[in-house]
Amino acid sequence: MTSRYCCIMGVSFDGDDAVVSGLADMIRWIQVSGADEGVKKKSKNGAVFLCVFAALRFKNSFQMENETSNGTNRGNAVELYARDLGGKGRAPLVLLHGLLGSTRNWQTTGADLAHAGAAHIIALDLRNHGKSPHTDTMTYDEMVADVVAWLDARGLMRVLLMGHSMGGKVAMALACRHPHRIARLIVVDIAPKEYQSLSHRAELAAMNELDLRVIRRREEAELHFESRVSDPSMRKFLVTNLKRDHETGGLVWMPNVAGIT
Instruction: Say whether 255 sits in a helix, a strand or coil.
Output: coil
Instruction: Say whether 259 sits in a helix, a strand or coil.
Output: helix
Residue ranges making up the domain that contains 108: 1-191
Does the residue 196 lie in any domain? no
Same domain assignment for residues 3 and 47: yes
Q: Are 255 and 241 in contact (CB under 8 A)?
A: yes
Question: Which residues are CB-contacts of 230 (< 8 A; sequence separation ≥ 6)?
Answer: none
Q: How many domains does the chain have?
A: 2
Same domain assignment for residues 7 and 118: yes
Same domain assignment for residues 41 and 113: yes
Point out the least confidently predicted range of 142-146, 199-203, 241-245: 199-203
Q: What angle do CA 161, 164, 168 make, to 5 degrees?
A: 60
Cα separation of 98 and 190, whole Å?
Answer: 10
Same domain assignment for residues 170 and 248: no
- Give pTM, 2 decimals: 0.76
Point out the least confidently predicted range of 18-22, 57-61, 99-103, 170-174: 57-61
Question: Using H for helix, E for strand and C for coil, what is the string for 63-129?
Answer: ECCCCCCCCCCCCCCCCCEEEEEECCCCCEEEEECCCCCCHHHHHHHHHHHHHCCCCEEEEEECCCC
Confidence of residue 194 (pLDDT cuts 50, 70, 90): confident
Same domain assignment for residues 5 and 112: yes
* pLDDT of res. 12: 56
Same domain assignment for residues 120 and 172: yes
Q: What is the DSSP letter of 226?
A: T
Same domain assignment for residues 230 and 121: no
Residue 78: is its pLDDT beyond 80? yes
Same domain assignment for residues 145 and 223: no
* pLDDT of res. 139: 93
pLDDT digits (tens, 9 = 90+) for 116-146: 988 999 999 999 999 999 999 999 999 999 9
Query: In this predicted model, which residue has the larger pLDDT, 46 or 128?
Result: 128
Q: What is the CATH number of the domain that holds 16?
A: 3.40.50.12270
Same domain assignment for residues 176 and 55: yes
172, with CB counted inside 10 A (0-12, 13-18, 19+), is buried
Same domain assignment for residues 237 and 165: no
